[in-house]
Amino acid sequence: MCGLFGIFGVKEAANYTYFGLYSLQHRGQESAGIAVYNGKKIKEWKNIGLVNEVFNEEILKNLPGEIAIGHVRYSTTGSAILQNVQPFCINFAKKTMAIVHNGNLVNAYSIRCNLEEEGHIFQTTMDSEVIVHLIVRNLKKGLVEAIAETMKQIKGAYSVLLLYDDILIAFRDPWGFRPLALGMLNGGYVLASETCAFDLIGVQYLRDIEPGEILVINKDGLTSYYPFKKEKINKSFCIFEFIYFARPDSYIFQKSVYPVRKNLGKNLYKECPLEADFVMPFPDSGNYAAIGYSQASGLPLELCMIRNHYVGRTFIQPSQRLRDISVKMKLNPVKEIIKGKEVIVIDDSLVRGTTSRNRLKSIKEAGAKKIHFLLSCPPLKFPCFFGIDFPSSSELIAAKHSVEEIRKYLDINTLYYLSIEGLLDAIGDLRNKVCLACFTGEYPVEVDFSFRKNIAEV
Ligand code: AMP
């Protein structure tokens, strides 16, 4: 869970990157950073915090240049410490390199152990640092060849932007787990995890970086390299980007997210047509599927869980006694609408079940007569090793409990999960090109079970 932004050949590159990262903030709220090539070397600024906490006008003024990369981070490997904030920058042999990475490598731990045995010294506990070590190690073969070699060694999810002095390079794993789009602005080029970052600054979308592609951007323009044979390209786009993660105004894998989420709701109605007084989402994650269900069923849509938009990250962990406060701080039900009604509540997913249980309890306390809870994805039973921050199987409620057991735990009248077929139908032509491992346990890449969140842990 991270957001990437890169820009080449545009004045005030750092300012544009700042705005780009702002619109990708939903992909990571832990830290933010920008690295800029100023004509001589790469300068960076990064810190723990939200984009607007890390940067101000003064800081951006001190990052002049026309080539930049930026990152917002939600750690899925490597703990949330300053050392692990990206871009990860290094100086070596009179060169400077900076990298930003979205995704998880599943074999980073074993590669790191081998490199350490050979004397490599690591500065962070991020899997992304392994990529830099492998590239530098192979650099005598030339930059593109060094990246190609690295891509053949690392396994898992990686959408990467690399700044090597005045060259900007984008590369993506052959499964294409995480998105990465290319656009044009004022004769220069822009790269971003999601196209919502393009809309904000007026970038014209050109295309996605292909799974397995290396795209080099320099003063001569764009050059693509494809180091993998066709049969090694096995498109496995992350389905959870559509279900929950990406912004609904983005195009992901060349498909608009909003209509897919609405289709999920329509398919929920096809599979589970219920009678009730109205449909309501848990905002914002359930909004679009709830619209789809309401339109398909003809039932009215009510937005009667009110979200406090000013709750960012909460620093005070309330005691058990104050737990209700923490739930209601984010979402508070409108009693006047809910009292005495039979309601269909829609959300995108159930992970641990704890948040939903408290939210459903508050709807009951608001006076709902009956609660039917529908989820616009199938039961999440298996952990993700490719960049979505799910807990281990032991914490995923659907991994250990039947739907009926979960319904009882949630203390509601009906619980229904969308089927895998309903999910695939909603994404149409991409149905054979998605990773469904969190539902099926069938991982497109063999997972090295020595994988751990903090790869330096023993
Ligand atoms: P819970 O009831 O604790 O399982 O939480 C379910 C809520 O978490 C839903 O509203 C989801 O939209 C949201 N959610 C789904 N995936 C994630 C994730 N990877 N990290 C944080 N929240 C998530």
| pLDDT value, residue 458 | 35
Assign domain 260-430 to a CATH class. Answer: alpha beta
CA of 438 to the centre of ligand 1 (A): 14
Three-state SS at 426 = helix
With beta carbons less than 8 A apart as the criterion, state whether 3 and 72 touch.
Answer: yes
How far CA 150 is from CA of 9, 153, 166, in Å, comes to: 27, 5, 21
Question: 395-444: per-residue pLDDT in tens?
Answer: 899 999 999 999 999 999 999 999 999 999 999 999 999 999 999 999 99
454 pLDDT higher than 60 = no
Catalytic annotation present for 2: yes
Residue owning the nearest CA to atom 19 of ligand 1: 389
Q: What does the pLDDT look like over 179-198, one tens digit per residue?
A: 999 999 999 999 999 999 99
Residue-range domain boundaries for the chain:
2-235, 260-430
Of 2, 89, 238, 304, the catalytic one is 2
Residue with tokens 């009926």, as numbered in its chain: 404
Q: CA-CA distance, 12 to 16, in Å (whole number)? A: 7
Q: In this predicted model, which residue has the larger pLDDT, 83 or 281?
A: 281
The whole-number pLDDT of residue 451 equals 54
Report CA(349)–ligand 1 centroid distance (Å): 6
How close is the Cα of 327 to the center of ligand 1, in Å?
13
pLDDT beyond 80 at 273: yes
Which amino acids bring their CB within 6 angstroms of ligand 1?
A: 244, 282, 285, 347-356, 388-390
User: CA nearest 443: which of 193, 155, 210, 154?
Assistant: 155
CATH 3.60.20.10 fits 2-235, yes or no: yes
Tell me the pLDDT tens digit for each residue of 38-52. 999 999 999 999 999
Smallest CA separation from ligand 1 atom 23, residue = 351
Q: Pick from 267, 232, 266, 236: which is nearest to 253 by CA?
A: 236
Query: Concatenated DSSP letters for 295-329?
Result: HHH---B---EEE-TT--S--S---GGGHHHHHHH
Nearest to 127 by CA among 457, 443, 445: 457
Pocket test for ligand 1, best of 355, 384, 415 (most atoms within 8 A of CB): 355
Distance, CA 122 to ligand 1 centroid (Å)? 33
Take atom 20 of ligand 1 and give the residue whose Cα is closest. Answer: 389
